[in-house]
Amino acid sequence: MSCSCSVAHWSRTCASVASSRSSSTECTMWVIMTGMHAEPRDIAERDTGTGTDRIRIGTITGDGIGHEIVPATLQVVAAAIEATDRDEPEPLRIEWVPLHIGHDAIERYGTPLPDETMDSLAALPGWILGPHDNVSYPERFAGTVAPGGAIRRRFDLFANIRPARAFAGVAATSPRMDLVVVRENTEGLYADRNMSTGSGEFMPTPDVALAVGLVTRRATERIARVAFGLARERRRRVTIVHKANVLTLTTGLFRDVCREVARDYPDVTVDDMHVDAAAARLVRDGASIDVLVTENMFGDILSDLTAELAGSLGLAPSINASTSQVMAQAAHGAAPDIAGRGVANPAALMLSAAMMFDRLGEMRGDRRLRVVGRHVDRAVRDTIASGVATADLGGSASTTEFTETVLARALRW
């Protein structure tokens, strides 16, 4: 995998999960081949050992095209694990833990994000999250926090890492782009995550709407350290994006704290830009940016922009991480208009899963996990470079055809 997905400095080890005598391959094939879902149960009740034979990874199908791209991703990961095991003295045992959100969860539990899912996630080091379509949920759930946002908040997944790198075989506005957006994921102006109770957006009268913006030293410092550590593994340059000429106190604090953290990384060059100037720079000369660190809303917007400049939002991987857990979640949505038609592009979720395995390998000190991530990443990129792509990328491959090609390449490593 490219260094855009590797953060060697972030090496805090997750608590090891328990061992199991059951075959992870059998579990993987059961999930993929039957499409069945195990009922969430008490993870602690099932993880009674203390070894590291088995690594438990959650899988959440979600809504819309999630029913196609999550199984496709699991198949490719299973192939990469098989290829990795050929060169390892001890096989890598992954147990998939199927969980529910969205319409499936509403049908089973009466809520789009059941306690059973959240309780199970608490005991897992990582999970793959399919897209959710919360705008289509029944009216009684209107105004509630979307499942992905609630999960990020519950587990303090403060770092949203979104690489943007042009692909061979895909037309790009910025064909030399190779950067990473490091987005602070827990504060800012987003109303679903900046208040302890209630929403950060409110209306004191029917004609007046207000929003609260939150920036703290603690959150800014930790995301800055992620960005500077990542830059050390890349081209050693960090660009701080803010709007301190207008939002002087909030984004000014973000800029200043990032500058303070920079003193601990004298080998990394640092500059800063207003967000509007940064957007123009990305369009004009995106290849000149290495690592871009910014607050929540700016990062959300700029990472979508960089994904399109590099080729397509359909190729934009993403992870949301704390110091001990990682969630793989593609940047795109549930695309209900094409769900079930067999044309969805699973590449972004596959690449997100590759990032997750790389990060888990770093956290756990397990080289095999990182090798799996590299296999998946290379297989996806080589498949697209060979001309096999889904319609959104200008190709003619179905979801199944694309997945089968990636899977075959992953097995060959």
Residue 350: pLDDT over 70: yes
Asked if 172 and 311 touch (Cβ cutoff 8 Å), the reply is yes
Please state, in angstroms and as integers, the Cα–Cα distance from residue 81 to each residue in 49, 126, 151, 373, following that order. 23, 16, 27, 9
The single-letter DSSP state of residue 392 is G
Residue-wise pLDDT for 17-58, tens only, equals: 223 323 333 333 223 322 323 333 333 333 322 345 689 999
Asked if 62 and 129 touch (Cβ cutoff 8 Å), the reply is yes
Residue range 393-402: average pLDDT? Answer: 96
- Selecting among 42, 115, 276, 285, the annotated active-site residue is 276
Question: Which pair of structure tokens corresponds to residue 341?
Answer: 């038609």
- CA quadruple 364, 131, 241, 256: dihedral sign: negative
- Selecting among 272, 300, 358, 377, the annotated active-site residue is 300
- CB burial class (10 A; 0-12, 13-18, 19+) of residue 231? buried
- Selecting among 156, 304, 382, 392, the annotated active-site residue is 304
359: confidence class by pLDDT, cuts 50, 70, 90: very high
What percent of the chain is modeled with pLDDT above 90? 78
Residue 13: pLDDT over 50: no
- Selecting among 53, 137, 190, 290, the annotated active-site residue is 190
Other C-beta atoms within 10 Å of 214: how many? 17
Residue range 177-195: average pLDDT? Answer: 87
Domain 172-310 has CATH 3.40.718.10: yes
Q: Give the C-alpha separation, 19 to 74, whole Å.
A: 21
Residue range 153-176: average pLDDT? Answer: 95
Q: Residue 41 has what pLDDT?
A: 35
Domain residue spans of the chain: 1-148+326-413, 172-310
User: Which stretches within 6-132 are classed as H helix?
Assistant: 24-34, 43-46, 66-85, 102-109, 115-121
Angle of helix 66-85 versus helix 24-34 axis, rounded to 10: 150
What is the enclosing helix (H) or strand (E) of 205? strand 201-205
Please state, in angstroms and as integers, the Cα–Cα distance from residue 412 to each residue in 84, 94, 347, following that order. 10, 20, 18
Of 25 and 295, the structure prediction assigns the larger pLDDT to: 295
Residue 261: pLDDT over 50: yes
Residue-wise pLDDT for 67-76, tens only, equals: 999 999 999 9
**Strand, coil or helix: 398:** coil
Q: Residue 408 has what pLDDT?
A: 96
Reading phi first (left if > 0) and then psi (alpha if -120 to 50, else beta), residue 188 is in left
Are β-strands 54-60 and 126-129 bridged in parallel, bridged antiparallel, or unpaired? parallel
**Strand, coil or helix: 84:** helix
Asked if 370 and 345 touch (Cβ cutoff 8 Å), the reply is no
- Selecting among 243, 272, 358, 377, the annotated active-site residue is 243
Asked if 402 and 388 touch (Cβ cutoff 8 Å), the reply is yes
Active site residue 304: yes
Quick one: which of 113, 130, 111, 116 has its CA closest to 60?
Answer: 130
Quick one: which of 321, 324, 270, 319 has its CA closest to 292?
Answer: 270
Active site residue 243: yes
Q: Residue 191 has what pLDDT?
A: 64
Active site residue 366: no
Residue-wise pLDDT for 117-142, tens only, equals: 999 999 999 999 999 999 999 999 98
Residue 103: pLDDT over 50: yes
Residue range 250-276: average pLDDT? Answer: 98
The reply to whether 1-148+326-413 and 172-310 are identical in fold is yes
What percent of the chain is modeled with pLDDT above 70? 85
Tell me the pLDDT of the chain averaged across its residues: 87
As a CATH number, domain 1-148+326-413 is 3.40.718.10
